[in-house]
Amino acid sequence: MTYMAIPNIGNYTIALATAVESLGIKAWASTATTPEALKLGIDAAPESVCLPLKAHLGHFIEADRAGVEYAFMVNSVGTCRLRYYRHMIGQILKDMGLKIKIFGLGFDGFKPPIVRYFDPGPITFLKPLFHTVLKIKVIDELEVASWRTRAIEITPGDTTRVMNKLLLELSKSKTMAGTRAIRKKVAGCFAGIPADKEKKPLKVGLVGEISFLRDKCLNKNIEYILGSQGIELRNFFLLGEELKNISRIVLLNQNRRKSLSRIADLYLQCSVGGHALDSVAHSIHCADEGYDGMVHLCPAGCMPEVSVRPILKRVSKDKDIPILEMSYDEHTEGVGVATRLEAFADVLMERRKNTSLTR
C-alpha cells in the first residue's frame, strides 16, 4: 500500500485522510503533532521560523522514517509564510537527504500535478471527495457540540471521551452510509452526557493562527483546559466554514473576507495576511455579541498575528472585552499556559460577578 503524509490539522485530519483515498492511496497522519515529531522538526528547521512550520516539517520527517513515500502540503494564497512552507519543507527534506516526495496543491493546466501523478479513475477520484465533505461537516458538528457540553458537564472528561470515541468511529468509517449514521448519533451522544443545564458558563472566543487553533499538541490542549474550567468556547476555525467560503468565492463571487473587513473597518482596512483580519473582526463581533473574553493564540514570529496585536489591545479597550494574548514557541511550557488560562478564568468570573452586582 502506498502512503502519503498529510499535514495534521487537528480533528479535521480524519476527513482529509479520506480525501487522500481519492488518489487511490492511503493517508498517514494523526490528529495532533506528536512530541517526537515536534522535536525532529525543531532540530531540522532554522531557529527563527514559526512553530507550525517546525511541526509540519517534523511530521514529514517522522513519516519518512516510518517508510512513507509521499507527502502533501497546502500552499496558501495568503500573504504569510505558509505560502512558502511547501518549498521550504521540500528543500529542507532534500538537504537532509530524505527520500520522501512532497506535493503541493498547485495548478499548471487542467489537472493538478498531484492528480496527474497518481492518475486515479474518475469514480475513485470523486467518491472520497464527497465523503470528505460529509466528514468535515460531522467534525464541525462534533466540535461545536463539544465546546458547549464540556463547559457544563458534571464529570470532568466525559465530553472528551464521547468526542474521541465518535472521532475514532469516524476515522474508521469507510462508507458514506456509515458516516451518515455517525452524524445522526452526534446530538444524542452529547445530550446523554450528564450536565448541569441550568449553568450559565462564561463564553470565550478563540482566535489566532490556524495551526494553533487546531493542533492540541501545539496549543497545549487549550480547548480542554478552558473547557474543564467551565468556559464555553467558540473556536474561530471550522473547516466547513472555510470550505463554504471557497465555494462562495467560486460560485457567487462573495468573499467572506469582505464581510469581515466591513466589521473590522474601524480598526484595520487592509488584509495583513494569514488569519489576522479574522482575529480582529471576530474579536469585535464577539464583544458585540456579549462574550466574556477572547484568547488570541499567536506563534512567536508570526507576522500577521503579531501585527494585529496592538489593534486587538485597542479593541479590548474600546469594546471593554478582556483579550488574553498567548504567544507560543517551542519553549512554551504547559504549566505556563495553564497558569495564564486559570488566572484569565478567575478574572472573567470576577468581572461577571461585579457586573451582575451593579445591574
Partner 1 sequence: MNNYGYLGIDVGSISTNGVIISPEGEVLHEIYLRGKGNPIESVQLCLAQLTAELPDSFRIKGVCTTGSGRILAGAVVGADVIKNEISAHARAALHLYPDVLTIFEIGGQDSKVTILRDGAVVDFSMNLVCAAGTGSFLDSQARRLNITIQELSSRAMTSANPTNIAGRCTVFAESDMIHKQQIGHDQKDIMMGLCHALVRNYLSNVCNGKEIKPPIVLQGGVSANNGICRAFKEALQCDIIIPPYNMVMGAYGAAIIAGKSCLEKTKFRGKEVSTHHIITKGFECGDCPNNCEIIEIIDDDKLIGRTGGRCGKWEGKTGTRESLKRTGPAGPVSGHSTDRQMEDKTCKQVDNVPDLIQIGIPKN
Closest distance between partner 1 and the C-beta of residue 251, in Å?
Answer: 31
Rounded Cα distance, 342 and 229, in Å: 8
- What distance, in Å, lies between the first and last C-alpha atoms of the chain? 65
Q: Which is nearer to partner 1, 269 or 358 (CB)?
A: 358
Region from 40-48, 63-71, 98-106, 271-279 binding partner 1, contact rule CB under 8 A: 63-71
Closest distance between partner 1 and the C-beta of residue 310, in Å?
Answer: 7
Closest distance between partner 1 and the C-beta of residue 87, in Å?
Answer: 26
Q: Which is nearer to partner 1, 67 or 106 (CB)?
A: 67
Closest distance between partner 1 and the C-beta of residue 230, in Å?
Answer: 11
Q: Using CB under 8 A, which of 46, 219, 329, 359 touches partner 1?
A: 329
Question: 299 by DSSP, 3-state: which?
Answer: strand
DSSP, residue by residue, 246-291: HHHHHHH---HHHHHHHHHTTT--S--STTHHHHHHHHHHHHHHT-
Q: Which is nearer to partner 1, 57 or 260 (CB)?
A: 57
β-strands 202-208, 231-235 pairing: parallel
Interface with partner 1 includes 211 (CB under 8 A)? no
In contact, 38 and 58? CB cutoff 8 Å: yes
CA torsion 157-160-162-168 (nearest 10°) is -140
In one letter, which amino acid is 78?
G
Q: Which of 207, 212, 227, 200 is nearest to 145 (CA)?
A: 227
Closest distance between partner 1 and the C-beta of residue 217, in Å?
Answer: 7
Residue with cell 527534506: 93
Where residue 258 falls (left for φ over 0; alpha for ψ -120 to 50; beta otherwise) is: alpha
Residue with cell 505560502: 83
Q: How many residues bind partner 1 (CB under 8 A)?
A: 64
Site string for partner 1, 331-350 (x = CB under 8 A): xx-xxx-xxx-xxx-xx--x
Interface with partner 1 includes 156 (CB under 8 A)? yes
Site for partner 1 in 11-50 (CB under 8 A): 13-14, 17, 26-32, 34-36
CA torsion 57-30-10-144 (nearest 10°) is 180
Closest distance between partner 1 and the C-beta of residue 189, in Å?
Answer: 9
Q: Using CB under 8 A, which of 161, 199, 200, 244 touches partner 1?
A: 161
Q: Using CB under 8 A, which of 221, 235, 279, 283 touches partner 1?
A: 221
Site for partner 1 in 304-323 (CB under 8 A): 310, 313, 317, 322
The partner residues of 295 in beta bridges, in order of sequence, read: 206, 324
Rounded Cα distance, 114 and 103, in Å: 6
Interface with partner 1 includes 196 (CB under 8 A)? no
Residues in the chain: 359
Closest distance between partner 1 and the C-beta of residue 165, in Å?
Answer: 4
Q: In what order do the strands lie in the sheet with 202-208?
A: 231-235, 202-208, 293-299, 323-328
Interface with partner 1 includes 178 (CB under 8 A)? no
Instruction: Give the binding site for partner 1 (CB under 8 A).
Output: 1, 3, 13-14, 17, 26-32, 34-36, 66-68, 155-158, 160-162, 164-165, 167-168, 171, 193-194, 217, 221, 224-225, 228-229, 300, 310, 313, 317, 322, 325, 327-329, 331-332, 334-336, 338-340, 342-344, 346-347, 350-351, 353-354
